[in-house]
Structure 1
Amino acid sequence: MIRYSLVCDAGHGFDGWFRSSGDFDAQAGGGLLSCPSCGSAKIGKALMAPSVRLKGAAEPAGTPAREELPASAPDMSFTNDREQKLRGMLRELRAHMTKNSEDVGEKFPEIARKMHAEEIERRTVHGKATAEEAKALVEEGVAIQPLPTFPDEMN
């Protein structure tokens, strides 16, 4: 795991843990990161002091390895206004869809199958399904669509 010191465009600092620098880049590039203080999606890596080990000093047990960036590493480009507007539109879409549908929770795959097979009355529902359950529903011809999710909703 890699710990990065992150900062939003409003100057709020916080830490983030990632499997790799590529994982950070993918999440940041996909608009999946947001500031826990203000919700801003304009997140970049803050400058970090390199970890310097003194001769003979041992690394404390349980300290994860850190990936340090070279001093010349370019700053991550923040999401632009167009991406911010798109995220806002997706949040509005999600709010509209959840307001106008029934939350069936963990029973979503079962209820979706029953509606598809016309065993129960069709209605607009939303709920939870694992990736495997969602894949199986699609393979069975059940029309489903994931709701947009954002990092602050996953914590």
Structure 2
Amino acid sequence: MIRYDLKCDKGHAFDSWFASAAAYDRLAAAGHVACPDCGSASVTKALMTPAVTQRSNDRALATPRDPKEAALAELRRKVEETSDYVGLSFAAEARAMHEGQIPERAIHGEAKPDEARKLIEDGVPVLPLPFLPTRKTN
């Protein structure tokens, strides 16, 4: 995952997470990266400071954790605590709930880009999460 600071042509600054630099490039080229304030799809990467990891013996001198990282960790904890992980069956589960075929409940999982796009086009209320789900293993 990579986080970019972004700016639209109207001057609004925001940030977003992407699976990779190539994923950002593909989404931006297709017009799928839009400003949350005005909806403009004319978005560019803003100047960012690099994230530098610290050596273990420097940790005592380290500054407190980045508030954005803490907020992301809290969001992950809340999502995983209050919803069911349905893995790759997310699109089917979300659609079945939307159509009243199964009872509604909070879920999270994974969907291919074309599946997610179809859900949105069909009015199914879904949102991308800014992190990859924790893999459930035995």
Question: Max radius of gyration: which structure?
Answer: 1
TM superposition score normalised by structure 1: 0.45
* Larger relative helix fraction: 2
